[in-house]
Amino acid sequence: SSERVNIKATTNEKMGFIGRREGAASYCVVSLEDYTD
């Protein structure tokens, strides 16, 4: 359900090529659980 989704954002201001606006980065973490009735 949508109540179990969490999205967070942050910046890398002035840190490396990302902070200098020379590149971009992203990552995703997924946690799956098996629910049985």
Range of the domain at 23: 1-29
Tally of structural domains, the chain: 1
Is residue 2 scored above 80 in pLDDT?
Answer: no
- Whether residue 6 lies inside any domain: the answer is yes
Which residues does 33 contact at the CB level (< 8 Å), separation at least 6?
A: none
**What pLDDT sits at residue 1?**
64
Task: Say if 16 falls within a structural domain.
Answer: yes
Model confidence, pTM: 0.35
37, part of any domain: no
Structural domain contains residue 3: yes
Domain presence at residue 34: no
In a domain? residue 35: no
Between CA 16 and CA 18 the distance in angstroms is: 5
Compute the average pLDDT of residues 18-25: 77
Tokens standing for residue 16: 């490396």
Q: Is 7 contained in some domain?
A: yes
